Amino acid sequence: MRIVFMGTPDFAATALKELAESGHEVVMVVSQPDSQRGRGKKVQPTPVKEMAMNYNLPVIQPEKISKDRGVIDKLKMLKPDLAVVAAFGQILSKEVLDIPRLGSINIHASLLPKYRGAAPIQRVIMDREEKTGITIMQMAEGLDTGDMISKVEVAIGDKNFETLHDELAAAGAKLLMKTLPDIESGKTVKTPQDDALSTYAKKVEKWEGELDFSKDADILAATVRGYYGAYTYLDGEVFKVWKAEPRENAADEKPGTILEAGNDGILVKAGKGALNLLEVQAAGKKKMNTGDFLRGRQLTKGQCFGK
């Protein structure tokens, strides 16, 4: 098939790589405009643009595709059979969705209709769900509301955002390759979503990454895994927590109080139980395990995290 691919971040780049190496012809790649990223805040190409360049695929980067007459006309001239969309980051109008002969499909990182929206991977972890997955859906007007074409489940376990993201990206690329032949031959079975079962995965805000030690340890551990770079404060400075685990603990201390600090972690009292910090990052320092951190900075029992 002649395919237009639309995507922006690493999640989408994984699918584009599989597509570029398949027997299908990627006639155009559409990505968000380049932006400032990294510590130096230098303007860098999106991961999808970088992947497209690796395979010498043509790329366009409209500010707002649905309002760009030139881009819309260009896509129509290409006469694509299908558009594959993955984490593109822009709302697509009906006119854009209907350009390909077979319409447009989306690789969505959840088991729809649950977790429609911008941050399904982070939300399933922070909500302590047991499983998530990939849904390939026929795109329609509305937010992730189209008919479902295929699905694959992925267990969450104790995975953090980075690990689960990469696993879902790989699963999405694999499911796409499995689904495309059925789309091409017209053998897909499309299942409407039950809107009554839908949930919304809104964008995760910075404040949600702050650890409130009055909450239960299980909730705090899920925040660390989902937000991936959760933070608190130590001696008035931001203190990041990259890895932690919940522990049972009945100590009668104020939440946020350090109960123990050693090679096995920094054990901090929570509302229920305790959170054992395993990988941390103090202000101006590198990420490190707690054993290495404590060799350079002493923490004592009774000290408190928080503002």
| 187 and 211 co-located in one domain | no
- High-pLDDT (> 70) share of the chain, %: 99
The model's confidence at residue 142, banded by pLDDT at 50, 70 and 90, is confident
**Is 306 among the domain residues?**
no
**Is 301 among the domain residues?**
no
Residue 305 in tokens: 């995290």
* pLDDT score at 136: 98
**Is 307 among the domain residues?**
no
Residue 237 scores a pLDDT above 80? yes
Residue 182 scores a pLDDT above 80? yes
| 158 and 21 co-located in one domain | yes
Q: Are the C-beta atoms of 270 and 216 separated by less than 8 Å?
A: yes
Mean pLDDT, rounded, for 168-194: 97
Write down which residue in 150, 175, 197 finishes a domain.
197
Q: How many residues does the chain have?
A: 307
| 74 and 189 co-located in one domain | yes
* pLDDT score at 250: 86
Secondary structure in 3-state letters for the chain: CEEEEEECCHHHHHHHHHHHCCCCEEEEEECCCCEEECCCCEEECCHHHHHHHHCCCCEECCCCHHHCHHHHHHHHHHCCCEEEEECCCCCCCHHHHCCCCCCEEEEECCCCCCCECCCHHHHHHHCCCCEEEEEEEECCCCCCCCCEEEEEEEECCCCCHHHHHHHHHHHHHHHHHHHHHHHHHCCCCCECCCHHHCCECCCCCHHHHECCCCCCHHHHHHHHHHHCCEEEEECCEEEEEEEEEEECCCCCCCCCEEEEEECCEEEEECCCCEEEEEEEEECCCCCEEHHHHHHHCCCCCCCECCC
Residue 98 in tokens: 């209907």
Residue 76: Cβ within 10 Å count: 13
| 150 and 212 co-located in one domain | no
| 150 and 218 co-located in one domain | no
The model's confidence at residue 292, banded by pLDDT at 50, 70 and 90, is very high
The model's confidence at residue 23, banded by pLDDT at 50, 70 and 90, is confident
* pLDDT score at 35: 85
| 187 and 226 co-located in one domain | no
What's the pLDDT tens digit per position in 272-285? 999 999 999 999 89
**Is 202 among the domain residues?**
no
| 251 and 139 co-located in one domain | no
* pLDDT score at 257: 97
Q: How many domains does the chain have?
A: 2
**Is 261 among the domain residues?**
yes
Residue 87 scores a pLDDT above 90? yes
Phi first, then psi: what are they for 128, rounded to 5°? 60, 40
* pLDDT score at 268: 97
What's the pLDDT tens digit per position in 27-67? 999 999 998 777 777 889 999 999 999 999 999 999 999 99
* pLDDT score at 177: 97
| 191 and 103 co-located in one domain | yes
Domain at 264, CATH number:
3.10.25.10
**Is 171 among the domain residues?**
yes
Longest Cα–Cα distance in the chain? 70
* pLDDT score at 234: 94
Mean pLDDT, rounded, for 95-105: 97
**Is 166 among the domain residues?**
yes
| 166 and 253 co-located in one domain | no
pTM of the predicted structure, to 2 decimals: 0.94
Residue 6 scores a pLDDT above 90? yes
Domain at 181, CATH number:
3.40.50.170
Q: Are the C-beta atoms of 243 and 163 separated by less than 8 Å?
A: no
What's the pLDDT tens digit per position in 184-219? 999 999 999 999 999 999 999 999 999 999 999 999
| 101 and 81 co-located in one domain | yes
- High-pLDDT (> 90) share of the chain, %: 91
Q: Are the C-beta atoms of 303 and 258 separated by less than 8 Å?
A: yes
Distance CA 39, CA 44 (A): 12
| 239 and 278 co-located in one domain | yes
* pLDDT score at 107: 98
Mean pLDDT, rounded, for 119-126: 98
Residue 46 in tokens: 């999106």
**Is 155 among the domain residues?**
yes
* pLDDT score at 256: 97
| 177 and 244 co-located in one domain | no
Domain span at 255: 207-296
Distance CA 184, CA 179 (A): 9
Q: Are the C-beta atoms of 255 and 267 separated by less than 8 Å?
A: no
Mean pLDDT, rounded, for 116-140: 97
DSSP-derived pairing of the beta strands 258-262 and 265-269: antiparallel
* pLDDT score at 188: 94
Write down which residue in 149, 169, 197 finishes a domain.
197
Write down which residue in 158, 177, 197 finishes a domain.
197
* pLDDT score at 106: 98
